[in-house]
Amino acid sequence: MAKITDDQVERVRAIVASVPAGKVTTYGEVAAAAGLSSPRIVGWIMRTDSADLPWHRVISAAGTPAPHLRDRQLENLRAEGVPVFDGRVDMKVARADLA
């Protein structure tokens, strides 16, 4: 992976922090908004620097949570009123507008 700069980390953090309660976004949408080349970079940043962020609002493009955080992430999302069916977020309803 290419070297991640502090500026990139801060852009990702700001975008994730801006996702309102009851809404979600995807790793790819965050990457695009931050000007990054890959959603994997967002995943790496989220793994290493997101404890103080609403990390649970970032999910896969398929509307599924991170496998290792599945129960906790879905519980947090449901508590915010995010529609979840069969372990998948209804992206048509819950997608945040990052513009």
Q: And the tokens for 86?
A: 């069969």
The per-residue pLDDT for range 4-46, each reduced to its tens digit, is 899 999 999 999 999 999 999 999 999 999 999 999 999 999 9
The per-residue pLDDT for range 45-68, each reduced to its tens digit, is 999 988 899 999 999 999 999 899
Instruction: Give yes or no for a contact between 56 and 73, defined as CB atoms under 8 angstroms apart.
Output: yes
Q: What is the pTM of this model?
A: 0.93
Say how far apart CA 84 and CA 31 lie, in whole Å. Answer: 24
